[in-house]
Amino acid sequence: MNMTFWLIVLAVILLITFLPRVGLRSQYKSYRAAQEREQVEDALKHLLDREQAGRHASPESLAGILGLSRPRVTGLIEDMETQGLVESRGDQLHLTADGERWALHVVRAHRLWERYLADEARMPLGQIHSEAHRREHNLTDAQLDELDAALGFPTRDPHGDPIPTREGTLPKAEGTPVTAWQADRPARIVHLEDEPALAYEQILAAGIRLGQDIRILERTPQRVVLSDGENEYRLAPAVASNVTVAPIPEHELLKRESVPLTELAHDHRAEIVTLDDAVQGFTRRRFLDLGLTPGTIIYPELQNFFGDPRGYRVRGTLIALRKDQAAQIWVKPV
């Protein structure tokens, strides 16, 4: 009796441990495999990053990025060499063609996820990088294509970085660092470098946003002062070099003569000029569905007793918008 009992216990333990696919052992193995793959993918991304910056990665830089000890990194590099993903020449690491394709795949996954988290899940910009980093691994090309199509084939991530195409071409990042921009020319912010995170936090904390139009007020070795007409932003030059700018597109200059919908007085008619570039994805679709297209006449008709939201008459219907939504619609009083 006792013997039988212990035999059953033993059988159950063996089953739980060694059962194919659901057993503890195979669970642990697939967990390890996923972890190793994540490490390989992070290493590939770092190599691609360095190559694009015209520098070369080394075992030291890799160890620093991945937080691994030297012996572990050496093992990882050997593994990747056997898989034909990297070649080491002396102290320099180079991506092979296969390695580069895979790296671009991961970068594509990362940036598509960032787009999704920012536009559809509406996560705060400061949080999307780490969340996308968690989600970028173990995805097939077909899954990425699906995500790409669902997002409407975006070309840039929320930081302004280009998203690689399915074929693995990476559009060149345009623009000039604000530290090298012609001082008297107005410019639009087209990219905010999100690494190192500390500098990115400072940029966000200063209140600088992607798509903002700015002028350079002051540029000395001690500080860079930018202005968007209302507020002034002060940055250390080292931080400011992570802000990339480009000329303002022609049609966007229209915004100059317009005001946000929130500033329109009660019962004053106006014409919609444009929707702010910061509005993308879900919110933008919703606005367009409701008929808030450029050229439409709109006027505030219904006041809430707490000032927010307000009811606006558009195309014969009454639509209520909260202040932060209305602030993203630019109008010209008529």
Partner 1 sequence: MNPNDILAKAETLRNNLSSGFRDEIVKSLYAEAETIAQRAVKTANEKRYDFDQKIDRLVTSPLTGLPIMLLLLAIIIWLTVSGANVASDAIATVLFGFGEWARALFVGWNVPWWITGFIWDGVYLGLAWVVSVMLPPMMIFFPAFTFLEDLGYLPRVAFNMDWMFKKAGAHGKQSLTMAMGFGCNAAGVVATRVIDSPRERLIAILTNNFVPCNGRFPTLIMLATVFVAAGFSPALTSIIASGTVVGIVLIGVAFTFLMSWILSRTVLKGEASAFTLELPPYRRPNVSRILYTSIIDRTIFVLWRAMQTAAPAGAIIWILANVPFGTSNLAAAIAGWLNPFGILLGLDGIILLAYIIAIPANEIVVPTMMMMYMGAGMMVDGPSSSAAIFDLLVNGNGWTMLTAVNLMLFALLHNPCATTIMTIYKETKSYKWATLSVVITLGTAFLVTFLTASVARLLGWA
Q: How far is the CB of 167 from partner 1 (least distance, A)?
A: 8
- Rounded Cα distance between 55 and 42, Å, is 17
What is the contact surface with partner 1 in residues (CB under 8 A)?
Answer: 121-124, 127, 152-153, 155, 165, 171, 251, 274-275, 277, 282-284, 286-291, 293-296, 301-306, 308-309, 311, 315, 317-322, 324-325
Place of tokens 């830089």: 61
- Secondary structure element (H or E) that encloses residue 260, with its range: strand 259-260
Rounded Cα distance, 267 and 22, in Å: 66
- The residue (of 121 and 197) whose beta carbon lies closer to partner 1 is 121
In the sheet that holds 213-219, the strands lie side by side as 176-177, 243-246, 187-192, 213-219, 224-227, 232-235
Residue 99 or 281 with smaller CB distance to partner 1? 281
Of 169 and 182, the one with the shorter C-beta distance to partner 1 is 169
CA 134, CA 113: separation in Å to the nearest integer? Answer: 10
CB of 18 to partner 1, least distance (A): 28
Min dist. Cβ of residue 320 to partner 1 (A)? 4
Provide the minimum distance between the beta carbon of 298 and partner 1 in the complex, in angstroms, as a whole number.
Answer: 13
Q: Looking up tokens 């597109």, which residue turns up?
A: 249
CB closer to partner 1 out of 25 and 322: 322
Q: Residue 37 CA to chain centroid, in angstroms?
A: 22
In the bound complex, what is the minimum distance in angstroms from residue 237's beta carbon to partner 1? Answer: 30
Q: How far is the CB of 190 from partner 1 (least distance, A)?
A: 11
Complex with partner 1: residue 257 or 267, whichever CB lies closer: 267
Least CB distance to partner 1 at residue 158 (A): 13
**To the nearest whole angstrom, how small is the minimum distance from the Cβ of residue 2 to partner 1?**
32
Q: Is 181 helix (H, G, I), strand (E, B) or coil?
A: coil
How far, in whole angstroms, is CA 63 from its chain's centroid?
Answer: 25
* Structural tokens at position 189: 């912010």
Burial (CB count within 10 angstroms: exposed 0-12, middle 13-18, buried 19+), residue 35: exposed
**Beta carbon nearer to partner 1, 38 or 301:** 301
Question: What DSSP assignment string belongs to 293-327?
Answer: -TT-EEEEEE--TTS-SEEEEETTEEEEE-HHHHT
Q: Which is nearer to partner 1, 25 or 251 (CB)?
A: 251
d(CA 301, CA 312): 5
Q: How far apart are CA 165 and CA 189, in angstroms?
A: 23
Is the CB of 228 or the CB of 301 nearer to partner 1? 301
